[in-house]
A and B are shown apart, each in its own frame.
Chain A
Amino acid sequence: MSDNLQPRGSDDTSFAQPLYTPIKRRSFFMYAGATAGASALVLAGCSKDSNNATPSLPAGNSVTSSGAISLGSGDVGVLNFAYALEQLEADFYSKVAALPSGILTGSEYTYFQEVAKHEAIHRDFFKAALTRDASGQVLRGLNPKYPAATFTDRTNILATAKAFEDLGVAAYNGAGKLIKTPAYLVIAGQIVSVEARHAAYIRELVTPGSFAADDIVNATSGLDDQKSPTDVIAIAQNFITEKLDASTVGK
């Protein structure tokens, strides 16, 4: 099963060590299997991730001096960052999925129901992953907020969905290189392409032919957008009641 994972580059000492609970070798991200199992218990290889022993995100998510909730540092920070975004997406689509019929077309409604499930799965998955691999540092449940009329008509729903999906793609693309554990990177990769599929689908609903238009995919380089966690949170913050601090994510 998942233990088979990992192409190359996986058999190094930093691979898949449980971040805070070394005993739980079978936990979530133990893909390592034969290649790296022997070294998995060594909390080594996290060159710049020395904060592992002293979690920067206290239990209960107490705030920083600036009054914001820190997402934490290192890989835990990246996971909490993703968890925050997935919470927002999941909440948004759950509200869309609960709307009465007539606002979206029949097929749109059907597909949005599915997207809602995908995002709920992503949210629940990150929560479960963090709970086991970084117990006590799991970001709290956030309270999303939306501009008035977000859910009242199709145009606003699609515009919001498009913004969230494109932002999500840029967020994973930008955070990828901050990840130090290959298994986490693979999971992030498994999710970001699904977000990109959502983005393309929704873009087509907004403007046919815009699935990968020049406003989101660079016309010269052919590269999708990427954003740093702080830049992403600065945008997402408009939709989240709690103030978040992403400045230490991946560090």
Chain B
Amino acid sequence: MDFFKIIDQLSEVDADVLGRFNSRRAVFGSLGTAAKRSALAATPLFLGALFQKAYAGTAATGVEVLQYALALELFEQDFYAKVKASSPYANASAADKAAIDQIKKHEDSHVTLLRGAISGLGATPVTGVTFKAAVFAGLTTFKTGAAATSQLGIAQLLEDTGVRAYKGRAGELLGTDLLTVALQIHSVEARHAAKIRDMRGQRAWVNPADDLAAHPVYTSGVTTGSTPAAFGLVVPPYTAPSPVENNTTQSNVDIKAGLGATYTASDAAAAFDEYLQVAEVLDNSRAGGLIGA
């Protein structure tokens, strides 16, 4: 664990982070020599105390949300690692490989960042979230053929699920700097989703004309049974289905006809992405069914 890297990463996105500690100088001063620093920095209690002080008040649900985010990032990271090691990928174009590399790099960074933040809050980061090897073996093409058996088809489902998943928990981080970090990851996932869609010849935005539009990732509701206890994640109570992606009503307003101008259902749906709750994301019909050994 690189404590200073974590601080640097946090300070990049949260300019005030150093001010939240006693002050940069105090932190460094109290650490003394480099040797002492690394010894102390490797101590979870020390880190936890620092971060709890820095983010007092946001730690309670913050850790749960971060663990959830880490689980999804680990899942994506493993998926892309498997893709890069596969034979279908070997035949992909250089441009497509470069895109996968860039996406994988971001997932790696997100894993590192989230792990550091979770450790800093005194919790143990989740581990071992992988993409099912047996399912992966059935992905026989890189991007051609049926979406359900192509690597990029699944990549699109994963990225769009990720976008929905982050949205589903933003409210728990209301008003915090952790929210900013979550939003900054969220929009990167959306960029990934757009690129994967583009590589597949789909529109970058979710719309009813997608070849995968009927997949449960774009609908809502728990359908085939969830795996709520997976990896010790805390699953918030599930009450009612989240809106489907082709929803054309936002905040009780009919986007098609309620805004003074008339818009098509396709445009009305595509203008807003929707969220998914944890139980829905972890349902076997969505990410839950793809997570495993």
Contact = CB atoms under 8 A, between A and B. Distances in A.
Given A211-B195, A221-B113, A187 B180 contact: no
B107 interface: yes
A221 B180 CA distance: 13
B191 interface: yes
B13 A118 contact: no
Interface size class of B (residues with CB under 8 A): 35 or more
Contacts of A7: 168-169, 171-172, 236, 275, 277-278
B134 to A, nearest CB: 29
B99 A209 contact: yes
B267 A209 contact: no
A123 B279 CA distance: 33
A10 interface: yes
Interface in A205-249: 208-209, 211-213, 217-226
A170 to B, nearest CB: 9
A130 interface: no
A156 interface: no
Q: Which of B261, B271, B277 has the most CB of A within 10 A?
A: B271
Contacts of B173: 9
A190 B187 contact: no
Contacts of B275: 5, 7, 186, 189-190
Interface-central residue, A1, A29, A128, A173, by most chain B CB under 10 Å: A173
Contact of A117 (B185, B241, B263, B277): B263
Nearest to B106: A222
B267 A117 contact: yes
Nearest to B204: A201
A211 B266 CA distance: 24
Contacts of A114: 203, 205, 207, 266-267, 270
A220 B271 contact: no
A196 B252 contact: no
Contacts of A35: 239
Contacts of A5: 242-243, 275
B272 A191 contact: yes
Contacts of A122: 271
Contacts of A51: none
A201 B192 CA distance: 10
Interface string A183-197: 101110111111111
Contacts of B187: 169, 172-173, 192-193, 195-196, 224
A182 interface: yes
Given A173-B184, A190-B167, A222 B109 contact: yes
Contacts of A196: 187-188, 190-191, 194
Interface string A10-35: 10000000000000001111110011
A22 B199 CA distance: 48
A91 to B, nearest CB: 14
B127 interface: no
B106 A212 contact: yes
A144 B175 CA distance: 31
A199 interface: yes
Interface string A106-131: 00000100100110111011011100
B261 A186 contact: no
A27 B184 CA distance: 30
Contacts of A6: 171
Interface of A: 1-10, 26-31, 34-35, 111, 114, 117-118, 120-122, 124-125, 127-129, 169, 172-174, 176-180, 182-183, 185-187, 189-201, 204, 208-209, 211-213, 217-226
Given A176-B170, A185-B171, A189-B166, 15 more contacts: A1-B252, A2-B251, A2-B252, A8-B236, A114-B203, A118-B205, A125-B259, A185-B170, A187-B250, A192-B187, A198-B205, A200-B195, A222-B105, A223-B188, A226-B13
- The 5 closest A-B CB pairs, nearest first, are A222-B109, A200-B194, A196-B190, A9-B172, A223-B184
23 contacts: A2-B243, A3-B252, A9-B171, A29-B251, A31-B251, A111-B203, A128-B253, A173-B180, A177-B180, A182-B174, A185-B170, A187-B272, A189-B170, A190-B274, A193-B190, A197-B191, A197-B194, A198-B205, A199-B191, A212-B195, A220-B109, A222-B113, A223-B113
